[in-house]
A and B are shown apart, each in its own frame.
Chain A
Amino acid sequence: MSDVAASPGNTNTASAAPETMAWDSKARRVVVLYLPLACFVIILLFPFYWMAVTAFKPNAELYDFQRFNPFWISSPTLDHIYHLLFNTAYPRWLWTTMLVAIASTFLSLVASTLAAYAIQRLRFRGSQYVGLAIYLAYLVPPSILFIPLATMVVQLGLFDTPFALILVYPTFLVPFCTWLLIGYFKSIPYELEECALIDGATRLQILRQITLPLAVPGLISAGIFSFTLSWNEFIYALAFIQSSENKTVPVAILTELVTGDVYQWGALMAGSLLGSLPVAIFYSFFVDYYVSSLTGAVKE
């Protein structure tokens, strides 16, 4: 690992003081910095490019690399997207996914805001251990839980309903959000709350009128993160949902669109593209919040 990292380590201090580096010539910078960076960007983005190109290609071009350059589309078509929207239950899947993601995000935000407030502000004996226990809950992966959860979901009569997903997704959202919000509450000066207490505000008023408004950026970060995580969730949705109309987008594309031995790559790629777009758009509005939540949670 350190071998790979050795070469960029050479130019590491360039950020500190570029003018002091006489040897840091332009040509060197291109070779050491821009060239690898360009390779990274191309490799990281290529699957998306390929997804988009395939989604708009007519079938005749899709399987004929001799006459058409595969990297470009000579006659773009909306056939695959039309097929997806009008011949399959795709709009329905999108709707279910949206519903599940929004409901579980809301549920976990409420639960984790209250929990984080209790742990960080209403300090009580053992609050640290409650915080640690919630953190440890994040380390329990869904792959271990889905079999017992499936039996529970059947017993509760929630099998094959979106409610099963709405109730289960908070298991991995709440630990993350709580941890993020504890960090956020920590950054809000406690003096503000003390002032309000002296002025005779109740604790609920303080939470509603002082702490929450100040924690809005943290709430947004937690919300975005939860939304993308529940949009992307796969294993629970695969195990708990059986009927076609209740499936979420990732599961439905894999189980409903893959039929027989001949894969309809055009429709598959169009479905993947459309399924990725909502999170990608949502994400592009809040990139900074997203990055801060990602790195904030890691640092906490």
Chain B
Amino acid sequence: MSTATSTAPAWVRQRQQPGALARLFDSKPFLIVVCLLPAVGLLMTFLTYPLGLGIWLAFTDQTIGRPGIYIGLENFEFLFEDPIFWGAVFYSVFYTAIATVGKFGLGLWLALLLNQHLPMKSILRAIILLPWIVPTVLSAIAFWWIYDPQFSILSWLAMKIGIRETPFDFINSAWPARWSLIWANIWRGIPFVAISLLAGLQTISPSLYEAALLDGASPWQRFRYITFPMLLPILAIVMTFSIIFTFTDFQLVYAITRGGPVNSTHLLATLAFQRGIPGGQLGEGAAIAVSMIPFLVFATLFSYFALARRKWQQGEAND
């Protein structure tokens, strides 16, 4: 080798010395900073800072156009005696609980149906996801029209079949309105749950079912002791997401009832918006929004422990 280089030195091209800029871009610490800067900068400015600012605002009396001063817990004391706020807390919890049970019951059922041999499976899957990709507000407007007090198609159908004499009252009194909104939320949530759980179902090895079949397990036992435990990790994650975004839901309620009739369907998010933006009481709105945080922390911890459980189950050390 050494002789070859000495006999033909002209053959070796000089390696180009990289410029200072190129060397800078090749140093690892510099690259790490440059690569993380856009994402971390964006998130710090528009997520972490506002989160802190929101908590600060909750302790001030800021209104639109006037900077607030620190007033301690006054906002929370006021809310504590406000029946509308407690109504919103109640309905947020109720809405989340019922909608989650409905979404996961029906979504799991749909996932199990889709996990079988079916013709045109991919088209079916594409159709089923539609409610989830269409803007929520727009499908909410469609539900608003379906729930119309006078021209509801469901009322027409019920009256035609002869179940009812008068049109349904969907959104003009408290309890029917609450249930109607929950149903709209379930309708929108089913596809997400079903498709995510379907992905989980497809990772379960068929040999487990074969072994169970040989051992004479009943269908219920196969579901209870194979499908359900294998699905549990993914179920826990999807459920955490679902709970967080159902609890903080805004669009459906705002589009269909705007919290009415008589504030009976306010969620915490719609109440915060109503007090904060059109009402101008930014401090009070922020206090309502901040009061959602304990619930979210609870849901996140739930997710964290479910993830930890998954690691333990699979015996993985990292990731």
Contacts and interface: CB of A to CB of B under 8 A. Distances in A.
A170 B46 contact: yes
Contacts of B234: 298-299
A40 B129 CA distance: 12
Interface residues of B, number: 117
B116 to A, nearest CB: 5
A37 B112 CA distance: 10
Give the interface size class of chain A.
35 or more
A47 to B, nearest CB: 4
B20 interface: no
B173 to A, nearest CB: 18
Contacts of A175: 43
B180 interface: no
Nearest to A18: B117
Interface of B is mostly: helix
A15 B115 contact: yes
Which of A40, A122, A150 gathers the greatest number of chain B CB atoms within 10 Å?
Answer: A40
Given A13-B213, A118-B36, A140 B251 contact: no
A202 to B, nearest CB: 5
B42 A4 contact: no
B120 to A, nearest CB: 11
A250 B251 CA distance: 10
B190 interface: yes
B40 A115 contact: yes
Interface in A186-235: 200, 202-204, 228, 231-232, 234-235
Contact of A40 (B128, B244, B296): B128
Interface of A: 1-18, 20, 33, 36-37, 40-41, 43-45, 47-48, 50-51, 54, 62-63, 65, 70-71, 107-108, 110-112, 114-115, 117-119, 122, 124, 128, 130, 134, 136-137, 139-152, 167-168, 170-171, 174-175, 178, 200, 202-204, 228, 231-232, 234-235, 238-239, 249-251, 253-254, 265, 268-269, 271-272, 275-276, 279-280, 283-284, 287-288, 290-291, 294-295, 298-299
The 3 A-B residue pairs with the shortest CB-CB distance, nearest first, are: A9-B223, A295-B199, A115-B39
Interface of B: 15, 18, 22, 25-26, 28-29, 31-32, 34-36, 38-40, 42-43, 46-51, 53-54, 57, 62, 101, 104-106, 108-110, 112-118, 122, 124-131, 133-139, 141-143, 145-146, 148, 151, 153, 156, 187, 190-192, 195-196, 198-200, 206, 209-210, 213, 219-220, 222-224, 227-228, 234, 237-238, 240-241, 244-245, 248-251, 254-255, 268-269, 272-273, 276-277, 282, 285-286, 289-290, 292-293, 296, 299-300, 303, 318
